[in-house]
Amino acid sequence: MLALLICGNCHYANAKMRYGVITDYHCAGYTDEGSNEVKGVVLHHTAEPTIAQSINVLTNKKKNVGCHVLIDTDGTRYIMCEPTTIAYHAGYSRLGNRDRCNEFTIGIEFQGNTLEQPLTDHQIESAIEYLLPLIKQYNIPIGNIVTHEMVRTNYMKAYPKKKCWEKVDITQQEYKRFMKALRKRLPKAHKR
Ligand SMILES: [Zn+2]
């Protein structure tokens, strides 16, 4: 039997990648001006009926939207740009006391619509697999992992006269489910 040496710092790196990763697509909505500070994560659902349609939207230059990773219902991850890229996923948004969340957050798009269907377990596990190394590398506070709806609501509270519409993306129920799963997988030092 092999003795397992578990180093306190290597929890994240030891996990074997379980889900497929596809790098054939690049999102259309991003900028090369400046670098993403990677201080938070914004969770979205695509609200498109199929993965092909989600990819179409995210790679359509006219739509000019983006994200860092799109996660299919089977857990397959479509990497749409590097974490350090500023992608256009959050729009009018506020987290803590900062606006323009695109500049400092990672955007995760889950295939589907959480108003109609819950996230699959594969989607949750795959997102965690993607996020754990980033949480460690950039020391992302757990409180900065939020939904699109939350950063939108923060913005609307701060700027009540600004014209933008409320959205449910993703539902609080699915957010709580995701966070519960994520917390279970975080090393103790990071459960803040
Ligand atoms: Zn969204």
Q: How far, in Å, from the CA of 91 to the mean position of ligand 1?
A: 8
Residue 1 covered by a domain: no
Structure tokens at 154: 């923060």
Asked if residue 3 belongs to a domain, the reply is no
pLDDT tens, position by position, 85-110: 999 999 999 999 999 999 999 999 99
Within-domain flag for 167: yes
In this prediction, residues 118-147 reach a mean pLDDT of 97
Its domain, for residue 72, covers 19-186
Summarize the confidence of residues 43-56 as an average pLDDT.
Answer: 98
- Nearest to 20, CA basis, from 145, 167, 123, 98: 123
The Å distance, Cα 136 to ligand 1 centre, comes to: 24
Kindly indicate the confidence band of residue 79, based on its pLDDT and cuts at 50, 70 and 90.
Answer: very high
Residue 149: its pLDDT value, please?
96
At 150-188, the pLDDT tens digits run: 999 999 999 999 888 878 999 999 999 999 999 999 977
Q: What is the pLDDT averaged over residues 131-158?
A: 96
CATH number, residue 179 = 3.40.80.10
Q: Is 13 inside any structural domain?
A: no
Output the CA 47–ligand 1 centroid distance in Å: 9
Q: pTM here?
A: 0.90
Res. 125 pLDDT band, cuts 50 70 90: very high
Length of the chain: 192
Identify whether 87 is part of a domain: yes
Residue 165 lies in a domain: yes
More confident call, 162 vs 31: 31
Task: Kindly tell me if the per-residue pLDDT of 13 is higher than 80.
Answer: no
78 CA to centre of ligand 1 in angstroms: 16
CA 90–ligand 1 middle distance (angstroms) = 6
Number of folded domains that form the chain: 1
Asked whether residue 122 is domain-assigned, the answer is: yes
Alpha carbon distance 83, 138 (integer Å): 10
The per-residue pLDDT for 17 is: 77
CA distance 163 to 92: 10
* pLDDT bucket at 191, cuts 50 / 70 / 90: low
CA 190 to CA 163: how far, in whole Å? 37
User: Is 161 among the domain residues?
Assistant: yes
